[in-house]
Amino acid sequence: MSEPIPQVGDVIYVERGDLTSGTWVRGGKATVNRVLSDWRGLCVGVVEVPGTLWNWETLAPQQASLAAEYGEVIAGQKMIGDREWE
């Protein structure tokens, strides 16, 4: 893994996606508020998408491409079907 392990307060990029809760995640910059290691590996949580963890070992290699894709866009979440970001 080329990216260092993030610390609480670091800014990273997260990818977009759908959560099983019916929530859509907008990818972008996010502030780390949780770092833990468990059976899934090293995981990070972010302020902008509470209650969601990303596997850092999967996300770390994507940081440069996510930065190029999202730039200064801040990550977030909304309910699927909400047209606010469109």
Burial of 13 (0-12, 13-18, 19+ CB in 10 A): buried
Cα–Cα dist 85/33, whole Å: 24
Residue 38: pLDDT over 90 = no
Please compute Rg for the chain using Cα positions: 13
The domain locations on the chain are 11-79
**pLDDT the model gives residue 66:** 96
**Is 15:29 a contact under the CB 8 Å cutoff?**
no
Q: What number is the average pLDDT over the span 71-78?
A: 89
What pTM was computed for the model?
A: 0.83
Q: What number is the average pLDDT over the span 49-75?
A: 93
Q: What number is the average pLDDT over the span 20-36?
A: 86
Cα–Cα dist 5/54, whole Å: 13
Cα–Cα dist 80/14, whole Å: 18
Choose the weakest-confidence range: 28-32, 49-53, 54-58, 64-68: 49-53
